[in-house]
Structure 1
Amino acid sequence: MSSCQESRFRGVTDEQWALIGPLLPSNAGKKGHPFRDDRPVVDGIIHRFRTGVAWRDVPRGEFGPWQTLWKRHRRYAGDGTWDRVLQALLADADAKGLITWDVSVDATIARAHQHATNTTRPDQDTGAGSNHKNLPLELVEPDGHGIGRSRGGLTTKIHHAVDASGRPLAVVVTGGQRNDGAMLEQVLDDIRAPRPGGGRPRTAPDSVAADKAYATGVNRRMLRARGIKTVIPEKSTEIASRKRKGSAGGRPPPFDTDAYKARNVVERSFNRIKQWRGLATRYDKLAITYRAGALIHACLTWAQLLGDTP
């Protein structure tokens, strides 16, 4: 195979693999066949999400049997492996001062392909695939598999929290009809950057910027209780209601217009993640395996930054 063809199939660079490879679990000393080299397996998983092909159509000659790719992906998605990898990379990045904790939050919708929707589910799923905490699969996977019926049909939604440079800190998957603002607390709970020297992990950003979908009293009180600066504009209905009440309506909440101008980094993060066809359209039946694809994309983003940083 030519070097051009090899680069086309390769998903992880040498620099990225030097950071990610040691963080992946091993089954040494356990029952069953020992894992072979993880790298072609991870490359195959990335190839599948990048191209959007069916698992059976992933080239065997480059990545091995598709069954191995699927089983490993299912295992790593179910036991929270990619969450732990992302947390380790965030810990390294935070220790090097590479994370700016002015966070932007938003959500994007992906259409669910018919291969993802032939499962039993409630009409309106409000569950979220997130916060594994080493729970068994049946306790992690939401009842509706993170697929809901919205105006666009059967859809799924990726909720993102990104740092000031647009690099992902948290990924939560819900049904497409789920209200963005109602998921803010869970998205923030998904942020976790452990301290390399021990101690409590970093979980709270300095500020949170979000659009008017997040402009609720519940969210403002939650952010205030956590000591997080709120950068969320008021809805026009809130402004009108406050003005009707006169002096009883109170003062408008503080709003930093300059900080809000930087919120578009989360939109740019969605542009990058949707370059992977398997994330732009959801083909996965399980919310955890779909979310794991988004987590792999996040891990590669941080590994690239760390690999380029002396």
Structure 2
Amino acid sequence: MARPKPWEVDDGLWAVIEPLLPAIERRTRHPGRKRHPNRLVFQGILFVLHTGIAWEHLPQELGFGSGMTCWRRLAEWTEAGVWPRLHEALLAKLHSANALDFSRAAVDGSHIRALKGGCKTGRSPVDRGRTGSKHHLITDATGIPLAATLTGGNRNDVTQLIPLLQAVPPVRGKHGRPRRRPDVVLADRGYDHDKYRRLVWDLGVKPLIARRGIEHGSGLGAQRWVVERAFAHLHWFRRLRIRWEIRDDIHEAFLSLACSIICWRRLTNLPSSQPALPWQPRSRDPA
């Protein structure tokens, strides 16, 4: 049996995505050409995300529609807020399956080049002043991405510590109040600032941050490596290795979608003794 391509959307994932997409009413007068099916267009977006190919080079024989069709639909769904809700829905499914561990979280940042410039770019101090951006990521104790943000390449990682914690959505999937904050957050020496330690404590989270000037071997690396692995999984999507988008919201859409795909893969690889409960996101007004 042939192995499915990574951009092929199975029925389970599409059952989660389809209710989140905005409904577009077709005009009764002068309706024009019928819209390309959403599922095929979504696979075209995944194809670009996985391969890093330019939109105009999207192969027509795959049946995903033109590159401009996929780009327009991506912008349309981004404006409707589809990607954060998709990520939240998949986190809820993982939570209902007891696959999320909020006992601790890990944060880190990773630099990428931004060859076309745009918003949320800057002269990177680690890339000879070339224009770049940064991905900032927070994961649970097992490496599942909880939230990701985008900044300019000249931003210090520590400035995104609080925004990352605040960006974690309320994770449902179980009875009771949704879970939003981890018990502990782990970070490397780049986050060693007492001011931010106090701000983390104010959010009800315990900071475990390595201090400068102390020998390596504190033991945090044995628990922090999960965020490094999560970055490896994120940058396996070739469209995220280099930022080609001038519009920051489009690149953030790719970033959020990649986090969702990682969550879905973790969900489908759960052991049979740990099935995911049938949970569906609450209907919301896209506006």
Q: Same fold judged by TM-score > 0.5?
A: yes
**Contact (CA 8 Å) 2:36, 2:65: kept in 1 or not?**
no
TM-score by length of 2: 0.82
**Contact (CA 8 Å) 1:231, 1:260: kept in 2 or not?**
no
Q: Could you say which residue in structure 2 is the equivalent of 1:51?
A: 51
Instruction: Quickly say closer, same or farther: Cα 1:303–1:8, change in 2 above 3 A.
Output: closer
| AA aligned opposite 1:69 | C
Match of 2:106 among 104, 107, 126: 104
Distance (whole Å) between structure 2 residues aligned to residue 76 and residue 259 of structure 1: 39
Instruction: Quickly say closer, same or farther: Cα 1:199–1:52, change in 2 above 3 A.
Output: same
Match of 1:157 among 114, 131, 134: 134
Q: Could you say which residue in structure 1 is the equivalent of 2:77?
A: 76
RMSD over equivalenced CA pairs, Å: 2.6
What is the Cα deviation at residue 46 of structure 1?
1.2
Q: Could you say which residue in structure 2 is the equivalent of 1:65?
A: 66
Q: 3-state SS of the aligned residue for 1:201?
A: coil
**Contact (CA 8 Å) 2:41, 2:70: kept in 1 or not?**
yes
Instruction: Quickly say closer, same or farther: Cα 1:194–1:166, change in 2 above 3 A.
Output: closer
| AA aligned opposite 1:181 | V
| Unmatched tracts of structure 1, length 5 or more | 120-144, 240-255
Match of 1:227 among 196, 204, 211: 204
Distance (whole Å) between structure 2 residues aligned to residue 308 and residue 278 of structure 1: 24
Alignment of 1:108-147 (within 5 A): 108-113=110-115, 116-117=116-117, 119=118, 145-147=119-121
What is the Cα deviation at residue 166 of structure 1?
1.2
Q: Could you say which residue in structure 1 is the equivalent of 2:16?
A: 19
Match of 1:270 among 231, 250, 253: 231
Distance (whole Å) between structure 2 residues aligned to residue 292 and residue 282 of structure 1: 12
TM-score by length of 1: 0.76
Q: 3-state SS of the aligned residue for 2:24?
A: coil
| AA aligned opposite 1:266 | V
Distance (whole Å) between structure 1 residues aligned to residue 260 and residue 35 of structure 2: 21
| AA aligned opposite 1:110 | I
Identity %, equivalent residues: 31
Q: Could you say which residue in structure 1 is the equivalent of 2:253?
A: 292
What is the Cα deviation at residue 290 of structure 1?
0.6
Distance (whole Å) between structure 1 residues aligned to residue 100 and residue 234 of structure 2: 19
**Contact (CA 8 Å) 1:109, 1:158: kept in 2 or not?**
yes
| AA aligned opposite 2:247 | L
What is the Cα deviation at residue 38 of structure 1?
1.8
After TM superposition, the structure 1 stretch with the greater mean CA deviation from structure 2, 192-201 or 264-273, is 192-201
| Unmatched tracts of structure 2, length 5 or more | 276-287
Instruction: Quickly say closer, same or farther: Cα 1:148–1:41, change in 2 above 3 A.
Output: same
**1:212 and 2:173 matched:** no
**Contact (CA 8 Å) 1:15, 1:304: kept in 2 or not?**
no
**Contact (CA 8 Å) 1:112, 1:147: kept in 2 or not?**
yes
What is the Cα deviation at residue 51 of structure 1?
1.3
Distance (whole Å) between structure 2 residues aligned to residue 25 and residue 306 of structure 1: 25
Q: Could you say which residue in structure 1 is the equivalent of 2:243?
A: 282
Distance (whole Å) between structure 2 residues aligned to residue 305 and residue 270 of structure 1: 15
Structure that is richer in helix per residue: 1
Distance (whole Å) between structure 2 residues aligned to residue 199 and residue 30 of structure 1: 44
Match of 2:144 among 145, 149, 167: 167
What is the Cα deviation at residue 223 of structure 1?
1.6
